[in-house]
Structures are given as structure tokens and as C-alpha cells.
Structure 1
Amino acid sequence: MHGEFKVPGGKLVVVDLEERDGRIAEFRLAGDFFLEPDDALDAIDAAVNGMPVDADAAAIAAAVRAALPADAQLLGFTPESVGTAVRRALATAAGWLDFAWEVVHEQAVSPRMNLALDEVLTKRVGDGRRTPTLRLWEWNESAVVIGSFQSLRNEVDAENAAKHGFDVVRRISGGGAMLMAAGQIITYSLYVPASLVSGMTFADSYAFLDDWVLQALRSLGIDAVYQPLNDIASPQGKIGGAAQKRLAGGGVLHHATLSYDMDGQVMAEVLRIGREKLSDKGTTSAAKRVDPLRRQSGLPRQQIMTRLKDTFVQLYGATDGHITAEEYAEAEALVESKFATDAWLRRIP
């Protein structure tokens, strides 16, 4: 059995192992990481060999950490990344290059249509009717998008949202409210099979699925990092955030919004971001937490989006794709039956 895990912002961890009588056998760790002293590698191998095959990533990481010499130095990887690679090997997880990827970047549609397309395309990837896909969004109007489990009245000032021209919609993934002004944000969705993140914790899968974005932003001179659970940031502040939804049919939706530009005053008037949420961020203003890409890079929005697409294509061999007429029609029906209804928007008043 073979498993790989690319540590976000770090190195590749590779494991090979066998299963014998419910135990891990012939375990070997490899990768492009740095490890001192040399014999620490043997200590890691010995720690994992003989463990039960149903040991979770945390248990494997604890065994690795306990076996390391006191002076061991791990650079580019962690005991937790070893545990993740082992779980991926035992689950026969797929890698990025095991799939034929498509990149879709089409005309602007409404916020509700974008959300419906997310659900439709995720289901189709899950049941095999669509190849795994990266979709770059375009918006034809501004919106506040709240998380699936948020209270509408607690998160949005409806009067101010209407005054500033923001529609209010609810997505199928969790997480917090996002102020999405048309032309001022960059949003993308990944529609992937569950096998791509098999063996990972939710936290690991967030960083894993956005690692290509960090590489793209760094190539533009932005010192981008991932901040658990779901923030993309730089030393200057938060750039954006991600959210996920895993559907019963086997499809995984991972989408993220990056701030390209913003009006902090409008954000403060439209979003009701409470003090409790901000208390662990070291700031009293949500707007001050965000540092948009326009200020950090000085580049046009479209140029940043092109770099995102080009990086994904270079890393994973993706080709240009399109949303079919049938998929658009299915999404339009879902807008009418779900995303445009008060029952969905106000399911948590």
C-alpha cells in the first residue's frame, strides 16, 4: 500500500506499507523533507510498524512523536502528516494526478445560480457524470452569502444590505457570512471525489485542497499561508476563507472567496459581526482583519484569476471545460425550488 500527503506550505510525505493480520508491516517513510539526526527515520519506521491498521492519524502521530530522539528536528513535515499519509495508504486514497481535471470559467450569473451550480456540479462529480472540476465564479450582482447554519437576522442587517445593493443568499456549506461585492472578490469552487481527501481530517483536507492557491499567490509575491481551520492569509491580514460540504453521493464541494478589494465601511454596516467572534482575532473590526489582494499585489483582478487558473493547469494538467446546457437547466430548477425560496433563506431566522 502506498500513500502520499503534501504538507501545505511544506514537503511531500510518502509511505509504503503492508497489512498483516490487522497490523501495519514493512513500513517505510520517505519524502523530500528534512530530518535530523539520520537515525530518527529508523525510529519513525519502528514506531509505526506493528500498529493496528485501524489506528487513526492522531494515534499514529502520537506514536511517532514518542519515538523521536530528544534532539530530533523535523523540517517541512510533522508527526501528524505521517499519520495522514498512513491513513491515505490504508484507504487507498487518490492523488491529484489520478484524475482528468477541467477548469471552468464562464459568464457571470446571479448569486443564487452560482450556489445552485455548486450543488449540481458536486453531485455530478460524486456520481461520475462529471470529471473533477475547478470553477472560477463570475457574479452579475453583489450579495451577502451566509453559511448553512447561520442565523439570518444575527448575521445581516437587512436594511443596510438593501441600501447598498446586496442580495442575501444562503449556501449549502457551513462557515461564516461573506460580503461579495461584484468585481471585488475572487471566488472558486472545487468539485472533487471523496477519494481525493480519503484518510484526511477535515482540517487537513481544507489546507490540502487550497495548497495550489498558496503557490499561485506566492508566485505573485504575496506571502500567503493557511491559518486553521479555513483562512488564507498573509502577514498583512486575512485574504479569504474556505468552506466545504460533503454530499451523500460521494462528491465533495470545497469553495473559497478571496478579497480583491473592499469597502470596510459598507462591510461594517451590512454584516453583524459580534464581539465574541472577533475576541480571538485580536481586533475590534472585521474590516481591519482583511487585507485585499489589490492592495497587496497592485495587480488587476483578472490577472490574479489568470494566475490561479494557470497554476492549477500546470500542477494538475487540467484542460478547459464548460458547463453543459443540461447542468445549467438543472441549476435553474434548483434556484426556483430551493435557493430563491424564503424557506431556504430563513431556515434559521
Structure 2
Amino acid sequence: MSQWPDTRILDLLGIEQPIIQGPLAGATTSAMVIAVSNAGGLGSMPAAMLSIEQLREELKTIRQHTQRPFNVNFFCHQPPPPDEQRAQDWKNLLEPYYRELGVDFDAPTPVSNRAPFDNAACEVLEEFRPEVVSFHFGLPEKSLLDRVKATGAKVLSSATTVEEAIWLEQHGCDAIIAMGYEAGGHRGMFLSDDLSSQVGTFALVPQIVDAVKVPVIAAGGIGDARGVAAAFVLGASAVQVGTAYLFTPEAKVSASHQKALRTAKESETAVTNIFTGRPARGILNRVMRELGPMSAKAPVFPLAGGALMPLRAKAEADFSSLWAGQAFTLGVEMTSAALTRRLADEALAKLTH
């Protein structure tokens, strides 16, 4: 018998602890997913930066090493039409950096990509049948979503406003991730692109809880047991924790990203579109400071990163995305399994005493 005050997510997803490891594209490994799921939480494998072959291999590894439920996460954006003029204007803006670093400005620009959920990805889900599938930037088209549901998977997606939460419930979500403005990585926005009206976690969670009937998962700025307990007090049935897992040995994080996580001040994150073309929160670095974190010239998602790739190869810390949420200074070095258990045990102690 669970002692948690709200067991709807535990019952829905078949997990023991209401701790969902955030799907951190590029940083999450199958080892992290396995460790979190085996510790009683929900491990989450991000698929947006994997080829179909890589996704299949990761899911095969996860299935071999855990019998517990796990989540696979996909982006469901619409790939943009080519805009050669905008791409060239963006590269021209970066030309001084090319000159400074001795990078060939006239060489072809690499392509930066994030794969949206499609038929091929859906076939992999039908093969491996993960217990949970989550989406970012809304939901895929109905025919694909129906196929996901036919596998028996529970469907989650991120809402950054009450309006998005209601839309997700109406379109078949089994639970909603209430993503506050504090969260690291890409904002889950899909009904609006107005950053000025984005809501913080503590204001967003209770309003979404009041607006929908499905269980709500709090995300954004939750870095320790205090945040987990607070989310439950606000009406959440679980939490999704991302940045804290970047401090675990199972995370695949570059040396410059590791250094930034451990040395930056708590006020040094910002929402930026210059790395991918879509708003995402990361630790400030040189290119964010000098161009400004938001640029109207950045090509639309996911194309902005291509022109930065050659610069990143020369000066990684200055030109790469250092994704992190606002609570990153709460991060502690421990394994993914130990972090999952600590968040659950300490939060439950706060809620039951």
C-alpha cells in the first residue's frame, strides 16, 4: 500500500515512485533509463536525436536490463520549409566568429536536425511496446496517435499553459506534464509562441490541476525533495525531474557542460532560440551574451544549429547549448538510481510527517 497522498500516476503507469526522469536529448543514456526504472521511477528515453536504428538498439538494451515500465519521448514538430535567405542571413551574423576562429565561412553549412515522430518511429514502438510514450510540442496526427495507443502505451505530453493542458486532455492524453517556465531544455509550447506569457511552475500546476480531470505531472525547477513535496501540495500526482540527472554518472554530458553546471550562478540561465530556432533554457555562454539569447534572425526549429556546428567544434563552451533549468545549483553527484530513491524517500518523509 503506497503512502503517497495521490497514487493516480503510480497506478496509471505501473511505477512505485512518482519520479519521472526527464528525457534529456543528447544527455540521457539507456543506462540512465534502466537505473531509474529499476529504482521504481520512470526512466525516459529521448528519441528526437536518434536515428531509427539507434532508437531500436537503445530500446533493445533497455528491454534486456529492466522488466519495469519505461517511457520513450518524441518531438512532434512540423519540419519547416527551406528558407535559404534566412539561413544565409543567420550565417552572415555569425561570420565574425568564423573569422576569429579560422573556420572556413564558405564551406557548406552542416544540417542540424531533430526528428519528428513519424511512421518509422511508430513502427519501432509497435515492435517494443514501451509502457509509456511522451511527446513534446503537442501531439502527433490522430492516425499515428491511435497506433501508439493501440500498443497499450499511456500517452503523456507537455503543457506550458492551461489552454495547452485542456487541448491535450481533449486530444487523448492520459496525463499532462505541467511544464513551468523554470524548466531546462526546450519549452513544450505549441499553441502559442509568446514567451512573455509563459507561467512559472508554482502558478501553473494548481491551475492545470483545476482545469483537467487527468493526473498532472509537475516539471520545471524541481531539483530536490522540497520541490517534489511542494508539487504534491499543489495537486500534482508526480514530478518530472530533468537537470538533476545531468549530475549522475549515467549522463552523457560534455566537459564544458559539466563545468558550467558546477560553476555558473543560479541566475545565469536564460531562454534562448539561437541553438535550435526554438525557445529552450540553458546556461548563459558567450554566443548567448553577445547575440542576445533570443534572435529574430535565427532560422526556425530545428535548423538554427547548423551554422553553429563548425564554431562549436573549435570553441565548444562558447557555442554549444548548455541546457539547464533554474534549479541546477541544487544538483548533487550521485547515481541515477540513488537520486530517484532519495527524491522519493525524502519527499515522502516531508509529506507524511
Structure with the larger RCO, 1 or 2 (CA within 8 Å, 6+ apart): 2
Q: Greater share of strand residues, 1 or 2?
A: 1
| TM norm structure 1 | 0.26
Q: Report the structure number with the largest CA radius of gyration.
A: 1
| TM norm structure 2 | 0.25
